[in-house]
Each structure stands twice: as C-alpha cells, then as structure tokens.
Amino acid sequence: MKHLLMLLCLVFFAGQVFARAPLPGDSVYQLEVRLTDQDGHDWPWAARRGHVQVVSMFYTSCTMVCPMVVDTMKLTAKALDESARGRLDLLLVSFDPARDSVAALREYADRRKLNAPPWTLARAESQDARQLAALLGLQYRQLPDGDFNHSSELILLDADGRILARSDVMGRLDPDFVQAVRKALAAK
Amino acid sequence: MNALRSLPILMLGALLSLPAAAANYAALPGGLFTSVMPADGKAAPVTIEPFQLRTEPVTNAEFLAFVQTHPQWRRDRVAGIFADGRYLSHWAAADVLGSEAQPSQPVTQISWFAAQAYCESEQARLPSWYEWEYAAAADDHRADARNDPAWRERVLAWYGRPSNTPLPAIGGAADVHGVSDLNGLVWEWVGDFNALLVGVDSRDQDGADKLKFCGAGALTMQQKENYASLMRVAMLSALKASDTTSSMGFRCARSH
C-alpha cells in the first residue's frame, strides 16, 4: 500500500513536471500536425516529445535512395551500445499519402523487419507532410510518373524536439552523427 | 475637453486600424503550361487546374491586422522554429508599423510558416510554384507574354534595382487576369518552395547530387533565356521555411 502510494505520488509528480515544462521555441513540436502509424494509431506529432529520436522522410514504393535511408538508420542504431540503442527511437514519415496507407506502411515494416519499438513508420495528410518537411529542412517533389525526387537526410531530435544534428551521408556510417546520437542519449 | 478634442483623431485612428476589406481574388483559368521546371525534369508541360489568386501581395496593414487577432504570430511571441530573428524586424514594434513600414507596402521579413498561417486565416493557401509562375507570365493583354523580349526586359529590370531602394506600394496595373504586382515588387513565397530541388550546381547531375536528391537527380531548368523565373526558383530553393528577407513577401491562392 505504501509502495503504491509512493508510486502514485511519483507518477503524479512526474506528470506535473512534464505538463508544466514549456515547449522550447525552437522545438519542432511547436507544429500542430497529426500522424498515423503502421498500426493505424493516430496521434499529434508532439506526442513524440520525451524521446531522443532519429527522423527521416521516405515513401515505401521508392527503389532508389530510400532503402539506403533505412539502412543508414539501422547502421546508426547498431553502432550504439545496447543500453543506448534501447533508448533511441527511429521514425520514418512518408510524403506519399496517396499510396502509403496504413497497410502499405505495415507491409513495408514487415518486409524490412522494422519492428516497433524502436521503429515507427507514419503517414500524414499531404499538407501536413509538406509542413513537416519544411520544418525538418527536407525537400521532395512528386514526378508525373508517381515517383519522387527528394533529399535524403537523417535528423537527430532531442527529447524536447530540438534539432541537434543532421547527416546526408547515406549507405555508410557518419561518425560525427553517431557521436551526436551518443551524446544526446547520454544527456537524457 | 481633451477627450472631445481628440475625438476626430481617435475616429481616424479607428478607421485606419479597421481590418482591411476582404482581399480580392481573381479567377485564373489554368491549363497546360511550359514551366522553367518541367514536370518530369526534362520537357513535359504541367497541367494547372483553375484557381484563384490574390490580386495583390499581402500588405503591412493587412499583416498587422492578422497579428492583432493571431498574437502567436507577433514578432515578440512567435516560436523560433517558425521564424528567424529578423521576422517583422522593420516594424517599429510588435504591433506598430512605424516609418519603415508603410501600410500599403507589401509585408516582407516574413517566414514561410507565417505566410501559410496568414493565408489560412483568409481560407486560402500559398500558391504552388507552377501557379505562381503561370500567373506571372501574363501581361496586360496576354496570358503568356514570356516570348516577348520587351516583356522579359521589363521583368528583368526590376532585378537590377538596388536592394536598399524602399519598396513601392501595391497598386500596380492589373494584368489580363486582373492580378497586379507579380513582377517588380517583391519575391513571393510559394507553398511548395521545398519541392524545387535545384542542386547547388545543377550542372552536376552525377555523383554526390544523385545521392542527395533521390529520383531524377536535381532538376534541370529549362528556358535559359527566362532568367527572371530561374532567379525566382534559385532564390526559393535556397531558403529555409523559417527564413525572412527584406524583399520576400507573399500572396495567397484558393483552389476552385
């Protein structure tokens, strides 16, 4: 009983602290957009707050650089020691809402063995995806054949949504970026 | 007594601070359009659906009315992620235009996010690059005057204007669609400014660029003689969504 009470107090206190800490002005979570993940759950973008994560944007029917974006995220996570790896979240947001349904995201996650956690694959309505890309400094453009031109970058966010580092090194490890991830996880 | 004497001034003040009359939008028919940025990265024309475009860029007075009703966009309250440190810095205060910002000048020092939010407040959106480029191709009697060397020269002349010259007010002559001041006043944000993907050096189509821009690589720009549009594209593609500059303004559009 005493333990339960203490636990309740702790939860209550932690909740208060979390609720009261104002969002920094340079936090990406200032943007109000909604995402839907590979399990069909719908949540506000700001619900990602509280986690150090590596984020990028992609589309599942991409055959060129996108598989490399995923591979590079995998490599980056693998370069961490186990305890750090367990605390890093990985988020991929699609900029192709027309074709990337929840089912398509799920199928892609299964095929590429991107299990939750740490992986979240998500979609956003096209206006929201455009805003999210602008916020993260990513570029994309749909071509008449349905493919996309897009920039490929990994972005590191701290728990409050500040952009700590970015890397456009694809297909191999970027030591500076890995170092930034380690530092972010140690600081948490 | 004092209050009575200042009544006319108060009334004048009230009149001036009234929200501007609803903005005017002109209907543009759209159609097939040959852009400097071909749809497929090579030569394909783009199809533009009919849309409406604001006849004038948004002015300082209009944006002031907006920040008064949407205080989260005041320069002293805006979240840093949405606008850089120079956002509305030419205004005398967060809610005062002052001498450096005339009410009928186009508002500048505006970020993409702020422009988006303003357009939403008018039940509108930012135009796409193709919509903007298509609209800006018109003159007073042609929907597409771009092949006329005289037109090109007139448009280009503006780019040679020193950047420290004060901005003219809105109210230029209307084009064939009834839209004014697309060329010759300010640079304007477009909704898909981050879809232009022009490489730092677009001659470099191999190697590093291929990786940076997945897909067809950086776009090849066409119509090299149309420098004015190419400069717009280069400028827009170099900006971040939170950037503001002393010559970048915006206008809004609506789908039909």
Range A147-155 average pLDDT: 89
Q: Tell me which residue of B145, B158, B115 sits closest to B253, measured CA to CA.
A: B115
What are the structure tokens assigned to A157, written together?
């966010």
Phi-psi region of B66 (alpha: psi -120 to 50; beta: other; left: phi over 0): alpha
Do A132 and A33 meet the contact criterion of CB atoms below 8 Å apart?
yes
Residue type, B4: L
DSSP A47: G
Average pLDDT, chain B: 84
In terms of Cβ atoms closer than 10 Å to its own Cβ (0-12, 13-18, 19+), residue B144 is: middle
Q: What is the pLDDT of residue A138?
A: 93
Q: Which residue among A24, A28, A168 places its CB closest to the CB of B212?
A: A168
Q: Give the minimum alpha-carbon distance from A146 to chain B in angstroms, rounded to a whole number.
A: 10
Range B73-94 average pLDDT: 97
Percent of chain B with pLDDT over 90: 60
B11 in any annotated domain: no
Angle in degrees, 0-180, between the axes of helices B129-136 and B227-237, rounded to the nearest 10: 150
* DSSP per residue, B148-202: -HHHHHHHHHHHTS-TTSPPPPS-PPB-TTS-B-SSSS-EE--TTGGG----SST
CATH code: domain of residue B139? 3.90.1580
B15 in any annotated domain: no
Range B186-195 average pLDDT: 94
Q: Which residue range forms the structural domain that includes residue B157?
A: 24-255
Q: What three-state secondary structure class fits B255?
A: strand
Predicted interface score ipTM higher than 0.90 = no
Range B57-79 average pLDDT: 98
Do B214 and A150 meet the contact criterion of CB atoms below 8 Å apart?
yes
Per DSSP, helices labelled H in B80-128 are 112-121
pLDDT above 90 for B65: yes
Distance CA B133, CA B230 (A): 10
> How is chain A split into domains, by residue range?
37-187
Residues of B in contact with A144 (CB under 8 A): 39-40, 44
pLDDT above 70 for A163: yes
A–B: how many Cβ contacts below 8 A?
Answer: 97
Q: Does A150 touch chain B (CB under 8 A)?
A: yes
Instruction: Identify the residue with better confidence: B209 or A159.
Output: A159
Q: Give the minimum alpha-carbon distance from B223 to chain A in angstroms, rounded to a whole number.
A: 19
With CB atoms and an 8 Å threshold, state whether B213 touches A135: no
Q: Which residue among B116, B191, B213 places its CB closest to the CB of A150?
A: B213
pLDDT above 50 for A156: yes
Q: Give the minimum alpha-carbon distance from B179 to chain A in angstroms, rounded to a whole number.
A: 26
Q: What is the pLDDT of residue A149?
A: 83
Q: What three-state secondary structure class fits A136?
A: helix
Residues β-bridged to residue B187: B248
Helix (H), strand (E) at residue A120: strand A119-123
For the segment B138-165, what is each residue's pLDDT rounded down to a tens digit? 999 999 999 999 998 888 888 777 777 7
- Kindly indicate whether the domain formed by A37-187 is annotated with CATH number 2.20.28.10: no
Residues of B in contact with A158 (CB under 8 A): none
B81 in any annotated domain: yes
Do B87 and B109 meet the contact criterion of CB atoms below 8 Å apart?
yes
Q: What is the pLDDT of residue A5?
A: 52
Domain count, chain B: 1
Q: What is the pLDDT of residue A43?
A: 97
Q: Does A168 touch chain B (CB under 8 A)?
A: yes
